[in-house]
Structure 1
Amino acid sequence: MALRTPPPPAPQAHPQPALKKVLNRWDTLAIGVGSMIGFGWVVLTGDWITTAGPLGAALAMAAGGAIMGVVGLTYSELVAAMPRAGGEHNYLLRAMGARWSFLGSWAIAGGYITIVAFEAVALPKTALYLFPDLNQVFLWEVAGSEVYLTWALVGVVAAVVITGINILGVKLAGAVQTFVVLFLFAVGALHLLGALTNGEPANLEPLVSNGAAGFFGVLIVVPFMFVGFDVIPQAAEECDLPPRRIGRYVVISVLIAAAWYVMVILTTASGLSVGQLATSELATADAMGALFGTPAMANLLIAGGIAGILTSWNSLLMGASRLLYAMAESGMLPRWFGTLHPRYGTPVNALLFIGVLSLLAPFFGSAMLGWLVDSGSPSIVIAYLLVGVAFVILRRREPDMDRPLRVGGRGNGGLVIGGASVLLCAGLLSLYLPGMPAGLGAAPWILFGLWWVLGAAFLLRVPRGITPGPDAEHRLLALLASRRGREVPAPAELVGR
């Protein structure tokens, strides 16, 4: 009897790359807090104080923190219910349909990318404070700002390093974030100690300047300064935490950031007189040096500013890349953006795209700082407003949706919070309009317009007629697949994408 040769083993299918659930609670909280405490507190605090006075600026930041806290409550419930990469993208798709989802996603992506570019310009500006001879090899001038090769290369090198860290894995990026945030808080604690022991109460006069115009002049920067708590929802799919806890960390991170900004305003004002503030390039650093009587402490605060740059840059790059990845997964952006690194499980192409943009930003000079702050803020508020609308819609249409964290209870409390979020964001958005006390200039509106012109081209890719609902993404992908003559994916294939 002949022996039968066994068939060769079937080839093993290589597992598809996937996002890795590796972020612990400290990583998650550091991502949220670190993204909000960037470099603005070093470079802009002096302007805030001269615009509104120490008390006026502190009240504006406290009010801004309260507004963002209400917005954060809507996010906390939604991320606990839908802990998936892309945050806003998922909430709007389920509540309002595909095209509204694209608009909200594109808005917050624009806000993220402007902040990443901002940090790429802020870093060489900070380095110039520590190294006055940094400006070598003149290149050109942009809006009165001279650009030097050596100055720009500081931002370029940092862009390469931070993008590389994020490609190498979210756990590495989270660990770096936690370490740098701890250093940042240590510097902040020293600044507070200096103000409590050596601050001059007389420097706080006048407490309020320019009345309502000063208050709103500070309030308009709030979206830019507080953007980042929503990076936690962007990375929710990579958090190794119960969904309810992820939602809580969204609100906690906002409260910490608000306390930080109020503290920095008051401590800086206590260290410098009105005249000194008017002539200071970096008021927070100069105040630190004055409070301790040594330039070395000013340099230490600059190091804290650099830490803030790195934490914000790292977090917002993480958030923006996950958002572009989610939009690509839903067919709203080219599939190229949805490519994950085969080894590290990170959205490598989305990271490279944003990394290249941040690499180019320093070559436009420090004039870009103000433009980026102003151009990104309206887009951020638009996204927050739409999330508030989605929150209200889902509360009314899907009252029994699984919500591990339910803000405001099961009654009308949640609807009140959602409605308040919408109204506050609408009011904040109106401040940017021409003719308002804090209306934006021409250059920020041009940058804002260019981003949305580009978005309009991608919006045309998004099919009409995709109605809201829990399976909206499946129906969107099915329609796109049928248009390309491919097999319509089954819902089971989409689970845990």
Structure 2
Amino acid sequence: MHRRKELNKNLKPSWVWAIAFGSSIGWGAFILPGDWIAEAGPAGAMIGVLLGAIVMMFIAVSYGVLIRKHPVSGGEFAYAFLSAGKTWAFITGWFLALGYACIVALNASALSLLLKYLFPSFMKQFFLYEIAGWEVYLPEIIISSLVILFFAYMNIRGNGFSGKLQFIFSVVLILGVATMGIYTFAFADFPIENMKPAFPEGKSPLISILLILAIAPWAYVGFDNVPQAAEEFNFSPSKAFGLIIMSLMASGLVYATMIGVTSWTFAQGANVNNSNLWLTGDIISSSFGTVGVVVLAIAISMGIFTGLNGFFHSSSRLLFAMSRGKTLPAFFSDLHPNYNTPYKSIIFIALFTLPSAWFGREALIWIVDMSSIGVSIAYFFTCFTAFRVLSWARNNEGLEISPIKKTIAFLGAVFSIMFVLLLIVPGSPAQLGMPSMIALLIWVALGVTFFTSIYKSFRVLGRDELSYYILGQKK
């Protein structure tokens, strides 16, 4: 066997928390509250996102168990291999890689959306074409491309550089959201009254909540970046679970606060300075003025930057681990001679996401919607693997005895299956639209094609050899 490639151990606990939190809070927390309120009402949206955070905490228990036992890059890819074998490991990694790359692309496009709102006369120059009702202009393509290239470069430089910035960005984001939440609640004459009706007319509270709960795997995707970074911890892996829980608590509060800001500031239907582009931005502008818009712009920029940085890190580590595990070409695991980072994987993610700047935001949302399925599959295998490595009672296999954690792992696996079913079962209130289903089928076809091309060399690899490359275990 060849020598196993390894990454530097230089990630501090605060940086890992910032990766998890900052990756969970991207553009969606600031741009989508208006859409969520329209779908589920203020109460339905708030309850949905907070329940989503609680469900993710159940799933996080399994991550805590497995990170402690197997602190390796690859995360869910490695866990799927451990419990279900190399084929399911490839499937899990394939879908997860798509989900991560999509979020890089969508965060880059979100910066253009922000600038379109703040500087419409500048951004709406040099019209090119229209996709699904979204007008594409040259400045947004240039800006989205530049921000992708910048964060690719920052990640190639290594964790010391990107980790410090991630933590700073995360702290500024929290301060910005807290300022907007406190000010608008105090500014509103009747904040609780303004949130009525709590649920949309003609739609039951349960359906309203389920609509938002179904997107929890997408909304909170990012806390699962922690296992992708586990190999680079400079601290005990046993601390990872606490960092994940703290990141999910902070993320849930940020989502709920921004829904509150959008719903409690003015009575529903009130006449705000509506540009028809971004309800939350219009409300902050009307209530908070220019200062509020600046605070909001800073907060959303921090969310975008932390998302870009976090998912560049996790997607490159996932590709690195899959390559090291012989399920992707060898160049994905090549390390930079100076920074010891998987720079070719980082460059690949940049090249893969750069064309997204030309697609328009609506086309990207179709892809991101269906990527929730891939994330849910990854959650399932994490919980399923944790269920397998835990024991109800003392046995001869040397498994950890923890009936409570084993029960929670089982519940996490059930929740994960429910998320998938909510997205794909016909008639489900959260069923994917036809464009998203088509995008999903295309990605499945690409995966089948790619897996078929490597299958001959892949099938001859024994479990012991793969355990060494994927899990770092020698028999």
1:399 & 1:473 partners in 2: Cα distance? 27
Q: Deviations over 1:74-99 (max 9, x none)?
A: 11110111111111122222222111
- Cα distance change, pair 276–238 in 1 and its aligned pair in 2 (3 A): farther
- State whether residues 157 and 339 of structure 2, in contact with CA within 8 Å, keep that contact through their aligned partners in structure 1: yes
Partner of 1:448: 440
- State whether residues 50 and 274 of structure 1, in contact with CA within 8 Å, keep that contact through their aligned partners in structure 2: no
State the one-letter code of the partner of 2:246: I
Structure showing greater radius of gyration is 1
State the one-letter code of the partner of 1:247: F
Partner of 2:57: 69
- Cα distance change, pair 392–16 in 1 and its aligned pair in 2 (3 A): closer
Q: Residues 171-250 of structure 1 correspond to what in structure 2 (within 5 A)?
A: 171-199=160-188, 200-201=190-191, 202-209=193-200, 210-211=203-204, 212-250=206-244
State the one-letter code of the partner of 2:466: E
- State whether residues 108 and 379 of structure 1, in contact with CA within 8 Å, keep that contact through their aligned partners in structure 2: yes
Q: CA deviation at 1:401?
A: 8.1
- State whether residues 43 and 199 of structure 2, in contact with CA within 8 Å, keep that contact through their aligned partners in structure 1: yes
Q: Flag structure 2 segments of 5+ consecutive residues without an equivalent.
A: none
1:275 to 2:269 alignment: yes
What do you get for the CA RMSD once the two structures are aligned? 2.5
2:96 & 2:308 partners in 1: Cα distance? 15
1:167 to 2:160 alignment: no
Q: CA deviation at 1:268?
A: 2.1
Partner of 2:77: 89
1:18 & 1:452 partners in 2: Cα distance? 30
1:475 & 1:32 partners in 2: Cα distance? 27
Classify the secondary structure of the residue corresponding to 1:367: helix
Quote the sequence identity (%).
Answer: 29
2:6 & 2:383 partners in 1: Cα distance? 30
Tell me the TM-score normalized by structure 1: 0.87
- Cα distance change, pair 84–276 in 1 and its aligned pair in 2 (3 A): farther
Q: CA deviation at 1:399?
A: 6.9
- Cα distance change, pair 387–24 in 1 and its aligned pair in 2 (3 A): same
Q: CA deviation at 1:272?
A: 3.1
1:327 & 1:402 partners in 2: Cα distance? 28
- State whether residues 143 and 367 of structure 1, in contact with CA within 8 Å, keep that contact through their aligned partners in structure 2: yes
1:336 to 2:328 alignment: no
- State whether residues 16 and 243 of structure 2, in contact with CA within 8 Å, keep that contact through their aligned partners in structure 1: yes
Q: CA deviation at 1:372?
A: 3.1
Tell me the TM-score normalized by structure 2: 0.91
- State whether residues 102 and 364 of structure 2, in contact with CA within 8 Å, keep that contact through their aligned partners in structure 1: no
State the one-letter code of the partner of 1:376: S
2:396 & 2:17 partners in 1: Cα distance? 29
- Cα distance change, pair 98–271 in 1 and its aligned pair in 2 (3 A): same
Q: CA deviation at 1:236?
A: 0.9
State the one-letter code of the partner of 1:219: L
Classify the secondary structure of the residue corresponding to 1:274: coil
Q: CA deviation at 1:395?
A: 2.1
- State whether residues 106 and 361 of structure 2, in contact with CA within 8 Å, keep that contact through their aligned partners in structure 1: no
2:270 & 2:447 partners in 1: Cα distance? 44
- State whether residues 106 and 455 of structure 1, in contact with CA within 8 Å, keep that contact through their aligned partners in structure 2: yes
Partner of 2:283: 287
State the one-letter code of the partner of 1:430: L
1:147 to 2:136 alignment: yes
Classify the secondary structure of the residue corresponding to 2:328: coil
Q: CA deviation at 1:285?
A: 2.5
Aligned partner (choices 125, 145, 153) of residue 136 of structure 1: 125
Classify the secondary structure of the residue corresponding to 1:281: coil
Q: Deviations over 1:161-190 (max 9, x none)?
A: 011100111221111111111111111111
- Cα distance change, pair 156–315 in 1 and its aligned pair in 2 (3 A): same
- State whether residues 227 and 380 of structure 1, in contact with CA within 8 Å, keep that contact through their aligned partners in structure 2: yes
Partner of 1:353: 348
Q: Residues 378-397 of structure 1 correspond to what in structure 2 (within 5 A)?
A: 378-396=373-391
- Cα distance change, pair 60–221 in 1 and its aligned pair in 2 (3 A): same
- State whether residues 166 and 306 of structure 2, in contact with CA within 8 Å, keep that contact through their aligned partners in structure 1: yes
- Cα distance change, pair 56–162 in 1 and its aligned pair in 2 (3 A): same
2:6 & 2:413 partners in 1: Cα distance? 35
1:47 & 1:318 partners in 2: Cα distance? 29
Partner of 1:365: 360
1:69 & 1:19 partners in 2: Cα distance? 28
1:158 & 1:402 partners in 2: Cα distance? 49
Q: CA deviation at 1:277?
A: 8.8
Q: Deviations over 1:352-379 (max 9, x none)?
A: 1111122111111121343133121111
Partner of 1:488: none
- State whether residues 17 and 341 of structure 1, in contact with CA within 8 Å, keep that contact through their aligned partners in structure 2: no
- Structure 1 segments of 4 or more deviating over 6 A? 397-403, 465-468
Classify the secondary structure of the residue corresponding to 2:197: coil
State the one-letter code of the partner of 2:159: V
Classify the secondary structure of the residue corresponding to 2:269: helix
2:315 & 2:15 partners in 1: Cα distance? 17
1:415 to 2:436 alignment: no
1:54 to 2:42 alignment: yes
1:411 & 1:180 partners in 2: Cα distance? 37
Partner of 1:110: 98
